[in-house]
A and B are shown apart, each in its own frame.
Chain A
Amino acid sequence: MAASRGTMLLRRAASSLPGLALLPRLFWAQAAPAASLLRLQRPLLRVFSTETDPAASAEPVAFDTESRFKEKPWEYLETEEYIERYGNKPVWFGYRRNHKGPIPPQKTRKTCIRGKKIAGNPCPICRDQKLHVDYRNVKLLEQFICSHTGVTFHPTRTGVCMKQHKRLTQAIDQARDHGLVSFHIPLVTLQGKDYTNQHQAVTKTPPAPSLQSQAPWYPWYEWQQPPEKDIARIRRIYKDYLKEETGPA
């Protein structure tokens, strides 16, 4: 219990300070008794952080750059930061999943980010918050399509989580629909089809006479005055119940 609290604190500290996210977990946190844990809680944040306000340091950093690249996601791939980090290799190059045994599970994790919690060793897209999966940044999408076969890479190859893989597939589909990404178009032949529009299903049918003459479609759409005999008969039957007609009816 105490050990888990300590590790949670460490993780919060690690996630709030991006440079130190890759530090290994300190082993002595688990084995230590309660006294050393008390020492952990206070000064750890102060030692490593440059900010003085402990409440603000818990928030994730760099929101404004993220929103800048949200509008134009392709700009990030031109920046020095990107080139320094990735060079001319694809974004997923060198990423290694952590799993038990030699054969990786055929599905990667469902998602790296649940609410505000980020899983350990996030996938190549989730770990860089400035990368946005958008149908317009073709350079990023093409890193996930094989240049020889035109097939999207399986997530076990690239290491992305299933949620990002789904978003990637949708973005690639959208980009293909907009004509930004080229792909092989299967041949459709139009020979041997009859294009004469002769059948009455598609040619002009002469309108019905009642439509042409502006008469009602069924005669009973308009008010049809019943014959006098019937009116007189009904009046005679209901003579006792008829109200006196006073004024215009």
Chain B
Amino acid sequence: MAGLGAPWWRSLWRRAAAPLALQRPGRALLWSRGYGQDAGSEADKKESDVTKPCFMDELVQSLLSKMTGLDLQKVFRPIKQELKPPTYKLMTEKQLAEATRKAIEEAKELLKMPPVLSEREPIDDVLAEDRILEGTETVKYVFTDITYSTPHRERFIVVREPSGVLRKATWEERDRMIQVYFSREGRKLVPPPIFKDENLKTVFREDRHEDVLNLCIAQFEPDSANYIRVHHQTYEDIDKHAKYDLLRSTRHFGGMVWYLVNRKKTDGLLIDMIQRNLIDDATCLINLYHMLHPDCQSAKEAKEEEVYGVDLIKVFMKTESKKVGYIELALQAYQETLASSAAL
């Protein structure tokens, strides 16, 4: 199964393609409801035994983390904080290796990707109508259950309107009320104006995409409309200006790649990877593309011919990409540099 020349993830692919009936049924429900843009996944499950991969699948996560890379210098770069005098440590080779290993583990924790969810369904349920209360009040009353131990998603929050209607609070009202009673660090009651379009443009001009995404994670819930909108706008801007390197070695790179591959906008990213001589990452990207769009022509060709490395990129370039010329040029440049370094 895993032949001599085959990459390490081929064995994982066979395992992941096995039917999901072995798992607990609750987990499947969990995944189909909570994770991924797989609205039609239940229908797919009935049709084929290979389901559409979720963002949280092991294989997908391993591919994405491989593409993200792990640059310790960038992850642990100095930040603006209260300065202390520097400490110097004298270490043996073994101690240095141990310290590097610990640093890599901590970096992996920091690079865990935030979840990618579909937008939450709006809540608009009327629980009661008491017409006798009409005209008694001029304001709405919000009743929140503030039991400390209930999870926030199971909290009952209801609103009594001046017309006497008792309804469940909308998602925005829920978030606001929960922030009032159980405030979280970094989250404001009113979303700051940085998330408006004009201010986002100013921030993007200064190349502060990572800051915007971190603020977005602190402020909004992952399935809220604002979170998804800000993330998509950031990814679009990065794709437009080819600033992929800003997010490399951060926890947002995986989300960006997932967004681009789902919308088949991988050309810019592919060119960037080839120009930085990251051929392994390029092959990972194309394999992820084939996993998500198994019906495309390059996926079928790749499956028939069992191509790897630069040949896979060439196959993909001829069939699926729109910027064929640019990718060809980049590949040529890469092969020339390879040849010259081999000659040396």
User: Chain A: residues with CB nearer than 8 A to chain B?
Assistant: 148-151, 177-180, 182-191, 194-199, 201-202, 204-205, 207-208, 211, 216-218, 221
Contact = CB atoms under 8 A, between A and B. Distances in A.
24 contacts: A149-B82, A177-B194, A179-B194, A179-B208, A180-B202, A182-B206, A184-B79, A186-B185, A186-B218, A188-B185, A188-B217, A188-B218, A194-B34, A195-B34, A195-B153, A196-B30, A196-B33, A201-B154, A201-B168, A208-B127, A208-B128, A211-B129, A216-B131, A221-B132
Interface stretch (B9-17, B109-117, B241-249, B336-344): B109-117
Contact of A148 (B80, B117, B199, B206): B80
Contact of A190 (B82, B120, B206, B222): B222
A221 B34 CA distance: 43
A26 B139 CA distance: 65
Interface string B3-33: 0000000000000000000000000011001
A189 B153 contact: no
B76 interface: no
Interface in B145-159: 151, 153-157
Given A182-B208, A202-B153, A216-B131, 20 more contacts: A177-B193, A179-B193, A179-B199, A179-B203, A179-B212, A185-B211, A188-B186, A190-B114, A190-B217, A195-B117, A195-B223, A196-B29, A196-B33, A198-B33, A205-B125, A205-B168, A207-B125, A208-B128, A217-B131, A221-B132
B173 to A, nearest CB: 12
Contacts of A187: 110, 214
A185 B218 contact: yes
Summarize A's interface: helix, strand, loop or mixed: loop
Nearest to B210: A185
A183 B218 CA distance: 14
B54 to A, nearest CB: 13
Contacts of A197: 33-34, 120-121, 153, 223
Interface string B189-202: 00011100001101
Interface in B61-119: 79-83, 110, 112, 114-115, 117
A216 B212 CA distance: 50
Contacts of B131: 216-217, 221
Contacts of A182: 206, 208, 211
A194 B130 CA distance: 35
